Amino acid sequence: MKNPERNPRPPVPTVLEAARALPARPRRAELAAFLSGADSGALMDLRDHPLFGALDEHSREAVREAIDLLLEEGTLTLARGSRVAPAE
């Protein structure tokens, strides 16, 4: 089991890069699962993507919190269907 205290703050540039690079706009939880390298989920067909698991040293919860922070700051937005997108 991962230690969520080990690296509590995922790098913001990686989260932003994934939000920009993925071919489909993921939901918040899907983006967190993708970046933390989850073995299941809607984005499993992208497991060969270079950013899949890029933040696997962080807990999925920590990645989700980083996404939420970027949403609050306005760096990311929620597009149709609650999908995460970079702010324009």
28-65 pLDDT, tens digit per residue, is: 999 999 999 987 777 778 889 999 999 999 988 999 99
Alpha-carbon separation of residue 7 from 11, 59, 63 (angstroms): 10, 8, 10
Could you give the 3-state DSSP secondary structure of residue 83?
A: strand
pLDDT of residue 44: 74
**Neighbouring-strand partners of residue 79:** 83
To 10 degrees, what angle do helices 12-21 and 28-36 make? 110
CATH architecture of 12-86: Orthogonal Bundle (1.10)
Would you state the structure tokens that stand for residue 4, as one six-digit string?
């969520």
Q: Is residue 25 scored above 60 in pLDDT?
A: yes
